[in-house]
């Protein structure tokens, strides 16, 4: 005989509510944990990209600055010495976009007038002024412009030249600058070695093909395009997220080859740019400052007013700014001061 009066047990309303509350608390903890982890991962990725871009920009600038003024065996001699010391061979013409600063010998090629040819030069753009000729882009306000001319250190064999570059063949007393198809022979420059000739211009500006709010380290470099010389802009920008660059120049005043002090870009005189031996002052070292900025703001980034000291120049970031930044610097000794 079956018992029809067996009691069935279950959760009471109170127990059910307590269980639901505990479940919601646990679920909230899990959601909070994963949200925090996601935010941390995003911040870590952003900081990692910031560090990588800052170091890349500093490395590019440092390597180029260190070799400024290198011209093979001809190193240490003014490239503007009267002809025929430096000769521009057939086809070597001023670029269509000539990036040069007014006053001083800052053009792409020597002109042979005896005045000092500037193989390194920098300028400060107070209000976003171009500093260079109008054909070149205007840098962001409050940033520096740097230009460098040199040979690539590794020599080439005859016939290895590219149609898109300029070259120089040099010995102890002579340079012939040329392009492929109009190369000098061993008889033209006795015991000479061949090198690629470079003219680089660095500055800070947004990239026209990217988000215009992202600052880039930009570089123009000398190439041959459609048969004409041109200062080509690096496609898409050279390094993203570089907000500012600044330089200080170490001046040797007693002839021992070591800097006796450093001057910010605007304070370097024309004679010092020209390394005029008559005044006993030569540029022998360069301090490079790179201020990198994250590409995207971080709403969780809380800070007070931050002042980044870039040599004698301060960059102030207000507390309302939500972009993370990183400042790196290094000092480079010029291997080939003129």
Comparing 83 with 330, the larger pLDDT belongs to 330
pLDDT at 25: 79
Q: pLDDT tens digits, residue range 198-245? A: 999 999 998 766 678 899 999 999 999 888 899 998 888 899 999 999
Whether 10 maps to a domain, the answer reads: no
Question: For residues 123 and 178, what is the distance between their CA atoms, to the nearest angstrom?
Answer: 29
Q: Average pLDDT for residues 182-201, to the nearest whole number?
A: 95
pLDDT at 111: 85
Whether 192 maps to a domain, the answer reads: yes
- pLDDT confidence bin for 11, thresholds 50/70/90: low
- pLDDT confidence bin for 276, thresholds 50/70/90: low
Q: What are phi and psi of 180, to 5 degrees?
A: -55, 140
- pLDDT confidence bin for 8, thresholds 50/70/90: low
Comparing 276 with 47, the larger pLDDT belongs to 47
Q: Average pLDDT for residues 105-116, to the nearest whole number?
A: 86
Q: Give just the sign of the alpha carbon dihedral 100, 102, 106, 109.
A: positive
C-alpha 165 chain-centroid distance: 21
Alpha-helix runs per DSSP H in 94-253: none
Whether 2 maps to a domain, the answer reads: no
Whether 21 maps to a domain, the answer reads: no
pLDDT at 94: 87
pLDDT at 4: 56
CA distances (Å), origin 188, targets 161, 171, 243, 318: 17, 11, 47, 61
pLDDT at 155: 95
Q: What is the mean pLDDT of the chain?
A: 87
Using the predicted structure, report yes or no on whether residue 336 has a pLDDT greater than 90: no
Whether 182 maps to a domain, the answer reads: yes
Whether 217 maps to a domain, the answer reads: yes
Using the predicted structure, report yes or no on whether residue 277 has a pLDDT greater than 60: no
Contact 253, 213 (CB under 8 A): no
Q: pLDDT tens digits, residue range 286-322? A: 999 999 999 889 888 899 999 999 999 999 999 999 9
Q: What is the total count of domains within the chain?
A: 1
Domain that holds residue 113: 41-333
Whether 7 maps to a domain, the answer reads: no
Q: pLDDT tens digits, residue range 135-183? A: 677 889 999 999 999 999 999 999 999 999 999 999 999 999 999 989 9
Whether 152 maps to a domain, the answer reads: yes
pLDDT at 257: 86
pLDDT at 36: 62
CA distances (Å), origin 70, targets 52, 97, 277, 336: 28, 24, 19, 6
Using the predicted structure, report yes or no on whether residue 15 has a pLDDT greater than 60: yes
Comparing 77 with 129, the larger pLDDT belongs to 77
Q: Average pLDDT for residues 23-50, to the nearest whole number?
A: 70
């Amino acid at each position: 005989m079956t018992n029809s009066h067996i009691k069935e047990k279950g959760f009471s309303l109170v127990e059910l509510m307590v269980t639901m509350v505990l479940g919601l608390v646990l679920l909230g903890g899990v959601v909070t944990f994963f949200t925090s982890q996601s935010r941390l991962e995003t911040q870590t990725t952003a900081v990692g990209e910031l560090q990588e871009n800052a170091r890349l920009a500093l490395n590019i600038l440092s390597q180029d600055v260190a070799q400024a003024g290198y011209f093979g065996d001809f190193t240490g001699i003014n490239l503007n010495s009267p002809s025929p010391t430096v000769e521009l061979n057939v086809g070597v013409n001023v670029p269509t976009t000539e990036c040069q600063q007014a006053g001083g010998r800052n053009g792409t090629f020597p002109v042979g007038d005896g005045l000092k040819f500037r193989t390194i030069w920098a300028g400060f753009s107070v209000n976003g002024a171009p500093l260079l000729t109008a054909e070149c882009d205007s840098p962001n306000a409050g940033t520096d412009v740097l230009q460098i001319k040199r040979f690539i250190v590794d020599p080439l064999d005859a016939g290895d030249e590219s149609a898109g570059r300029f070259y120089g063949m040099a010995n102890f007393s002579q340079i012939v600058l040329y392009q492929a198809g109009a190369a000098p022979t061993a008889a033209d420059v006795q015991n000479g070695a061949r090198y690629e000739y470079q003219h680089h211009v660095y500055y800070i500006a947004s990239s026209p093909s990217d988000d215009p709010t992202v600052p880039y380290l930009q570089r123009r470099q000398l190439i041959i395009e459609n048969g004409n010389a041109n200062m080509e802009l690096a496609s898409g920008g050279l390094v993203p997220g570089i907000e500012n660059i600044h330089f200080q120049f170490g001046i040797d005043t007693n002839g021992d080859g070591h800097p006796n002090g450093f001057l910010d870009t605007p304070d370097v005189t024309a004679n010092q740019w020209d390394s005029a031996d008559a005044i006993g002052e030569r540029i022998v070292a360069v301090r490079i400052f790179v201020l990198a900025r994250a590409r995207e703001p971080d709403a969780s980034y809380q800070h007070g007013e931050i002042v980044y000291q870039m040599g004698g120049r301060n960059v102030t970031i207000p507390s309302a700014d939500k972009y993370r930044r990183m400042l790196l610097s290094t000092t480079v000794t010029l291997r080939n001061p003129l």
